[in-house]
Structure 1
Amino acid sequence: MLGVLVLSALAARGIVLFGLMPMMSAVGMAQKVEVGLRLVILWGGLRGAISLALALAVLEHPAVPPEVKRLVSTLVTAFVLFTLFVNGLTLRPLIRALGIDRLSAVDRILRGRAIAHSLGTVEHRLNAAGDQYRIDVVARQNLTEHYTRRLQESESAIDADNLLSKEERSRAALVAAARREQALHLQHYRERIVSGRIVRNLVAQAYHLEDGARSEGHDGYELAARRELAFPLEFRLSIEVHRRFGWQGWLAGALGDRLEALLVGRATTHSLLQFAENRIPEMLGPEAAKSLRKVLEQRLEAIEGTLSALQLQYGEFVEKMQVQYLERAALRIEHAEYLRLFNEAVISREVLRELLGDLRTRWHGASRRPSLDTQLSAMALLLKVPLFQGLETAVLESVAAVLKPRFVLPGEKLIRKGEKGQEMFFIASGALEVAVTGQPRRLGSGDFFGELALLTQAPRTADVTALGFGELLVMTASDFSQLLARNQELNTHIAETARLRLARS
């Protein structure tokens, strides 16, 4: 029975690793995993505390017969011991046999380059250190000769660098940039520039960039970079909750998180460009550095475009965020300066404690993110539409009662050609494009659209797509008819606009 249990466990893991995972990789839901790594995962499925805890739960259950309890406890204990003493003790030989523990060609070259770079730096600074510590000239010369020999050996050992293809160098540069990005995000967190919630997502995205670069090179890295700017499920859920229930808190928080992540991403990408300029040429050559810079510049352009779309909509919030980041940087510099003065014995420990206490108070204020006002109440948006300005308050309130605010995303299609019209839209802020025949038309703040289908009962005549973030007011067909019946001025204006648009069509 123990043999059946072990084989069943291996078979279950095998179905997932060699059946489900390749299918997920084929449809783009998971990264490709090499066969050797999958074999290690298959054999390395060690079981211990959790399995025993589950077995104890069976033993404590009064409804389980005693003979079943004995069988479960015996089998689980034996299974756990088998995984620990058979799988566990043979896992390292399996890894060694498959060659997974050996460095790849790229990693071997990087190792050699790192040794050569470090030895060169040591040799260059050795004389300065000898002067500082008054080291005897003979001893200094012997040590210098030792490092010179090691440097020559290291340089001769990396002659195989010429064997690396251009693609391998480029891929290694992308992987190095992704690793550097992970380190920068963690550094921002340690320096209290970014909150833990934001940095978790940023580090996870950097891991996806590394995985994409390892498996697919440029294409994998760029795909991960595009996914980084896509709207995650949580963001879309917050929009759906707002549309259905009118709750703005979740949406405001999601917008704030996205803005903060974009600001950090932009700063990090600038740092990566410097990394590509200063570090990659000496490690992987100028061609790899040039290729990496091109990819990073494209990524930075995409980030800037996405950030600009939000900045147009919430410029005041973005400005406050940037000022807050600058304030945090100033506090970090101030903290480092206090520590330097203490280490140089300029100030006492008591003075340092007092200074750091004041600094903590200011850190607390700088850590609170400014609030984001989405201004998605119907009345607030109504006042932005010129069509409704000048109406009496009672009329505005009656109009606002039948209008529903809607937050739209860049690229979101609000109207599709050929569908039956059920709603009319008023633009409080943002820009949209109407895909009419010939030159597409753009609509902006204060415009309205969708009235033709309601007036004529004909299908929609064009697609309407949001060009950026926007705030709309939506009115249903029945409310539209009642509104026009109550207000002759609005009726005349909307009818005239519809006539002109119909004539153009």
Structure 2
Amino acid sequence: MIGAAEPLAARLRLPYSVILAVLGVLIGVGATFFLHTELTDALNPVAEAILDLPIRSNVFLYVFLPTLLFQATLGMNLRRMIDDWVPILMLAVVAVVVATVSVGYALAWVSALPLAACLLIGAIVSTTDPSAVVSIFRSISSPRRLARIIEGESLLNDAAAIALFGLFMGFVMLGTPDPELGDALLRFPLLIAGGAITGWLCARVAVWIMALFGRHELAQISVSVALPYLAYIGAEQIVGASGVIAVVAAGLTLNLVAPGRLPPQSWTNLRELWGVLAHWAGALIFILAALLIPRLLEEVRIGDILLVAVVIVAAVVARMVILFGLLPLLARLRLSPPVDRPYRVAILWGGLRGAVTLALALAVTESFRVPDDIQRVVGILATGFTLFTLIVQGTTLRWVIGRLGLDRLSPIDEALSRQVVAVALQTVREDLASTTENYDLSRDIVRSEAKRFGERLDEAVKTAEDSADILDRDRIALGLIVLAGHERDTIIDRVRERTISARMAEKVMSDAERLIEGARSQGRSGYQRAARRSVAYGKGFRAAVWLNRRLGISAPLAQMTTDRFELMLSQRLILRDLGGFIDGRIRRIHGRRVAELLHELLSRRIEAVETALEGLRLQYPGYAEELERRFIRRTALRLEEREYMMMREDGLIGAEVYMSLMADLGARRAAAETRPKLDIALQRTALVRQFPLFAEFSDRALRQLARGLETRYANVGEAIIRKDSAAKRVFFIASGAVELESAGQTWRLGRGEMFGQMAILMQKSVRAEAKAIAPTTLLVLDEDRFRRLLGRSKALRKAVRESAEKRGIEPSALLPPAKDAS
């Protein structure tokens, strides 16, 4: 039945969850009918077995729900989710709280139910199941960012709603009729924080254990299967926090950490297994929950229908406030991507409720500590609201999307598709001609078929020419989208070949997706902005630098620097393969001018990556060579594996020999996957040694100097020294380039040069403004250390005099250096 549900949903063009719910309801209604009818008694045992299934809320909450949530976290691109954390939290958390409060107070206003029970109902119906609208958005090629926001909502809103459910369920069971909403919301963050910490700890322990079982894939998968259930039970029963939050935190942690600790194939197999488990869990939870609908609606009354209508209106209005009020405000503040009104309408109508809502309602009806009248109302309202969203909204969602025009290509995409068809048919005609010659086919048949194909080609070319009025700006944007898409496909191929490690794959893939979205939303400028971001130092890197400089904690900086090394090497490998794609494909679709411009943009990206990589090489001499040797070893192993596979397919070696060779290859590959460690302290000493200014220093003096120097990283365009600021430091350029501007004059400094010393020696405020014009690494020395160093180094004193003379400053105007106390 589950196997037939998906094809049936596709054929009827309905959401998959709607089909599952209908099947479950039909089974429940059919079992009730056959049990009570006098037409036949043969099916009574089957009907009794169905109706007496031990379906309890604990089965949903402790078995099925952790599986669904955990798999959802493993399938997410967390780096891209973090970019959109503001709208995701708005839809997932704030929207849940708003819906809970709106439904709760609306029910309290029109009914005699206590406020605690009304808020409990609001928490139950506030969780949405956006899987239907996500699947439809994917089928209509909606913006990836929009689909990602909805996916993030689907993950976190369940957690937020269930945490609120547990909070208000406690009030109802304790008999607190009118809880203080402020106190309740103050306890809400504690539930979330306790669950998040529990899930993180469980996941870290699990990853450590899985790493120990490096060659035992089944053991690793078994640990991953146990993880969500242990996190859920531990948070609920031991910590007293939210088990759902613990499962989400455990899945997110595993998604971030495991790719770098597990073999790539093991991680792939683990995610595939969880995909199958989640498919079955999702289907079973929907069908089993739908079986309960006839039972929950047995005691429905006329007044209950009015309350269901109140819940529907309050829930829809609460969601409208978020979608049409808060999201546009966040977009104006540039905290969220703008979401067009048609898409917001589709999200509003696609807020279906499903199995989680029914499972929570079932938990209320099973509790003996909840009064009977509240049990009845909760079961009826939750079930009625769920049926409305599934039957009314679910069956009309695709029609609504069609009426909004979201299922049609934009004029630019339509014109592009015509040109793509024309180019593809031209390529097919060329390949077809060579094929007919190779197989020596009958000329009459070839001539007749060629005539038919030529007519189709002529029609496609004419259609493409009719749409040739696409603006060059749009052609460039479309070409950049295609180029970034090919870059993403190339990354996938390189990961499969293990040329790029799984640890870097996610980061490089995220950069490619940013390029696609930037080109799609803002054209050339968006693409260039995303390209600059891919080589820039991020906030995390600056935080690691601060930890190293202020607290002496170097591990985060060493880890991020190592990642940056490998990232730049991976990007360089990918970018060098894109030029042929521009000439072979994009030029034929968009023409020579667009192809030349794309080549220019690609050259700039390659230059930026080479500059960043060269800066790292200068900053950490020798370490880049170690990584490149590791890359060569991994490439050699991949080629060796390919040779063994070909020999096995050709029958040159048997299965036993092949398995032995692959086992040995696997051991060597595991060793090659380990990255060399980066010792920042040792590397800084080696870097200082490369400065000609310090060539006369002994090894002991160099080590002392290295300890006194601070490392600073500057992005392109970042201000290093501002005009009229106090002179306190001297900067030595380890890599990159700096531009100085003073009194209308501009000059540039490169590796091995220094700046900032004149203001210190003249005891004046800084008159020049310095900014980085390339990703730059600086070694910084404070005033006191610089003066002592100047007193010890003849080369440094000479460099200071030469610099003063270039700027027209008499060396006699400079203050003498401090005497070296050592």
Alignment TM class, shorter chain as reference:
0.7 to 0.9
Per the alignment, in what secondary structure is the counterpart of residue 217 of structure 1? helix
Out of 685, 705, 710, the position equivalent to 1:405 is 710
My pick for the range that moved more, 25-34 or 55-64, is 55-64
1:97-496 mapped onto 2 (5 Å cutoff): 97-126=403-432, 144=450, 146-375=452-681, 403=708, 405-410=710-715, 413-420=719-726, 423-425=728-730, 427=732, 429-430=734-735, 437=743, 438=745, 440=747, 442=749, 445=752, 453=760, 456=763, 459-463=765-769, 469-470=776-777, 472=779, 474-475=781-782
Task: Write the deviation string for residues 292-327 of structure 1: whole angstroms up to 9, x where unpaired.
Answer: 223323333333333332232234222333333333
Residues 376 and 406 of structure 1 are in contact (CA less than 8 Å); yes or no, is this contact kept in structure 2? no
Residues 178 and 207 of structure 1 are in contact (CA less than 8 Å); yes or no, is this contact kept in structure 2? yes
Structure 1 residue 465: deviation in Å? 5.1
Letter in 2 for 1:350: E
Residues 181 and 268 of structure 1 are in contact (CA less than 8 Å); yes or no, is this contact kept in structure 2? yes
Structure 1 residue 145: deviation in Å? 5.2
Per the alignment, in what secondary structure is the counterpart of residue 470 of structure 1? strand
Structure having greater relative contact order (Cα 8 Å, sep ≥ 6)? 2
C-alpha change, 1:117 and 1:361, in structure 2 (3 Å) is farther
C-alpha change, 1:144 and 1:290, in structure 2 (3 Å) is same
Partners of 2:598 and 2:641 in 1: CA distance: 35
My pick for the range that moved more, 351-360 or 236-245, is 351-360
Partners of 1:26 and 1:62 in 2: CA distance: 50
What's 1:39 paired with? 345
Question: Percent of counterpart pairs with the same letter?
Answer: 31
My pick for the range that moved more, 409-418 or 316-325, is 409-418
Task: Write the deviation string for residues 83-122 of structure 1: whole angstroms up to 9, x where unpaired.
Answer: 2222211110011112211223343344444444444444
Task: Write the deviation string for residues 215-259 of structure 1: whole angstroms up to 9, x where unpaired.
Answer: 222122222222223222221221121122111121111112222
What's 1:77 paired with? 383
Structure 1 residue 408: deviation in Å? 3.2
Per the alignment, in what secondary structure is the counterpart of residue 468 of structure 2? helix
Residues 415 and 468 of structure 2 are in contact (CA less than 8 Å); yes or no, is this contact kept in structure 1? no
Partners of 2:561 and 2:388 in 1: CA distance: 51
Structure 1 residue 399: deviation in Å? 8.2
Structure 2 gap ranges (5+): 1-306, 805-809, 816-822
C-alpha change, 1:426 and 1:255, in structure 2 (3 Å) is same
Structure 1 residue 153: deviation in Å? 4.2
Letter in 1 for 2:813: A
Partners of 1:405 and 1:203 in 2: CA distance: 33
Structure 1 residue 198: deviation in Å? 1.8
What's 2:56 paired with? none
What's 1:503 paired with? 813
Structure 1 residue 176: deviation in Å? 0.8
Partners of 1:317 and 1:124 in 2: CA distance: 49
Letter in 2 for 1:9: A
Partners of 1:329 and 1:256 in 2: CA distance: 19
Residues 112 and 154 of structure 1 are in contact (CA less than 8 Å); yes or no, is this contact kept in structure 2? yes
Aligned residues: 496
Structure 1 residue 204: deviation in Å? 1.8
Q: Does 1:11 align with 2:11?
A: no
C-alpha change, 1:446 and 1:183, in structure 2 (3 Å) is closer
Task: Write the deviation string for residues 39-82 of structure 1: whole angstroms up to 9, x where unpaired.
Answer: 21222122324444555676788986665555444433333332
Residues 361 and 379 of structure 2 are in contact (CA less than 8 Å); yes or no, is this contact kept in structure 1? yes
C-alpha change, 1:205 and 1:494, in structure 2 (3 Å) is closer
C-alpha change, 1:308 and 1:426, in structure 2 (3 Å) is closer
Partners of 1:399 and 1:303 in 2: CA distance: 30
TM-score (norm. length: structure 1): 0.80
Residues 620 and 687 of structure 2 are in contact (CA less than 8 Å); yes or no, is this contact kept in structure 1? no
Residues 713 and 776 of structure 2 are in contact (CA less than 8 Å); yes or no, is this contact kept in structure 1? yes
What's 1:89 paired with? 395
Per the alignment, in what secondary structure is the counterpart of residue 779 of structure 2? strand
Per the alignment, in what secondary structure is the counterpart of residue 711 of structure 2? strand
Residues 383 and 389 of structure 1 are in contact (CA less than 8 Å); yes or no, is this contact kept in structure 2? no
Partners of 1:164 and 1:356 in 2: CA distance: 53
Letter in 2 for 1:255: T
Partners of 1:258 and 1:51 in 2: CA distance: 45
C-alpha change, 1:265 and 1:61, in structure 2 (3 Å) is farther
Task: Write the deviation string for residues 445-474 of structure 1: whole angstroms up to 9, x where unpaired.
Answer: 596856965995x64554455675435354
Structure 1 residue 390: deviation in Å? 6.1
Residues 310 and 469 of structure 1 are in contact (CA less than 8 Å); yes or no, is this contact kept in structure 2? no
C-alpha change, 1:352 and 1:255, in structure 2 (3 Å) is same
Structure 1 residue 173: deviation in Å? 1.0
C-alpha change, 1:104 and 1:375, in structure 2 (3 Å) is same
Residues 535 and 612 of structure 2 are in contact (CA less than 8 Å); yes or no, is this contact kept in structure 1? yes
Partners of 1:377 and 1:62 in 2: CA distance: 67
Partners of 2:761 and 2:318 in 1: CA distance: 58
The CA RMSD measured in Å over matched residues stands at 4.3
Task: Write the deviation string for residues 110-152 of structure 1: whole angstroms up to 9, x where unpaired.
Answer: 4444444444444444466567778777766665555445434
Partners of 1:351 and 1:451 in 2: CA distance: 71
Letter in 2 for 1:503: A
Partners of 1:268 and 1:229 in 2: CA distance: 14
Letter in 1 for 2:480: L
Task: Write the deviation string for residues 404-451 of structure 1: whole angstroms up to 9, x where unpaired.
Answer: 633433565554443445x54574945766655546585865968569
Residues 648 and 658 of structure 2 are in contact (CA less than 8 Å); yes or no, is this contact kept in structure 1? yes
Letter in 2 for 1:273: G
Partners of 1:286 and 1:198 in 2: CA distance: 34
Partners of 1:208 and 1:373 in 2: CA distance: 32
Residues 740 and 746 of structure 2 are in contact (CA less than 8 Å); yes or no, is this contact kept in structure 1? no
Partners of 1:452 and 1:5 in 2: CA distance: 70
